[in-house]
Amino acid sequence: MDDPMVAGEARMAPDLRAPIGRRAGERAARVLVIDDHHAVAEAVAMAIDTQDDLDCVGTAGSIGEGRRLAAELHPDVILIDVELPDGDGIEAVPDLRRDNPRARVLVLTGHTAVAVLARAASAGVCGFLPKESGIQEVLRAIRVARDGGMIVNNATLSGVLNRIAANGAAGGQSAVELFTPRELDVLRGLASGSDPQNIAQALGMSVNTCRGHVKSILSKLGAHSQLEAVVIALRRGLLPELLGA
């Protein structure tokens, strides 16, 4: 005979294929916090759980524990500190993303050095969140990450991209071969640090149309977030061409 508790838990399991967001019928975004500062992690978790569209599914104090929980809990967004007891949080990002290809990773850092942020961007994060950020900033950043957006200011983005570009870019298919003219315009906007709303306004298109172009750009580049798309474009030698066009 089936255990009623097990059966009940199975019935309550979330449909991870369902759309996430804040609209009716969409499930809450599942968030995992990896930070060895217990008070910080608990405060962020409590704030997340007050939001209807967000759900903190767990907190971890180390990379090892974070990877284990991520495998069990299937988060949509992972918020990770850089300095953890068992290693560097940025170095853990590729493993977290490989184990959880749907998840978007947001780095919580006290570092402002461009080299550190460039390393994080190259690892595939959605963006960087200063450790001194207020709770409302954290919640906003999680929502932006959930939606695939970038969490990085324009000045920081420019420095990060220049640092990555200094390491060289691989040539290949040209931007005009890969993208439509409108997609090129949108990618230029993303590379400048603009969000889809501002890009849409500047290009005289609807936000939904702009988001459709962003989705196409991400698909063509195999990216999961806007920042990752910009970094991939830069590494493939597309971004200098775009910025100089």
Residues 203 and 229 in one domain: yes
> Does 32 share its domain with 147?
yes
* Confidence class for position 174, pLDDT limits 50, 70, 90: confident
What is d(CA 53, CA 233) in angstroms, rounded to the nearest whole number?
Answer: 32
Structure tokens at 107: 């780095």
Residue 216 sits in which domain range? 169-243
Q: Are residues 39 and 134 in the same domain?
A: yes
Dist. CA 148–CA 134, nearest whole Å = 21
Sort residue 19 into left (φ over 0), alpha (ψ -120 to 50) or beta. beta
Question: Quick one: tokens of 204?
Answer: 């005289």
Q: Are residues 30 and 137 in the same domain?
A: yes
Are 155 and 191 found together in one domain?
A: no
By percentage, how much of the chain surpasses pLDDT 90?
56
- Same domain for 192 and 151, yes or no, is no
Beta carbons of 119 and 90 less than 8 angstroms apart: yes
200 and 156 in a single domain? The answer is no
Domain edge (last residue) among 108, 136, 161: 161
pLDDT tens figures, 157-173: 888 888 887 776 565 66
202 and 115 together in one domain: no
Whether residue 145 sits in one domain with residue 25: yes
Task: Say what the pTM is.
Answer: 0.81
Mean pLDDT of all residues belonging to the chain? 85
66 and 141 within one domain: yes
Residues 155 and 180 in one domain: no
128: CATH: 3.40.50.2300
Looking at 161, 178, 202, the residue that finishes a domain is 161
Single out the residue in 117, 140, 161 at which a domain terminates. Answer: 161
* Candidate from 21-25, 194-198, 221-225 with smallest mean pLDDT: 21-25
pLDDT-derived band at 107 (thresholds 50, 70, 90) equals very high
Number of domains in the chain: 2
Position 170 scores a pLDDT of 61
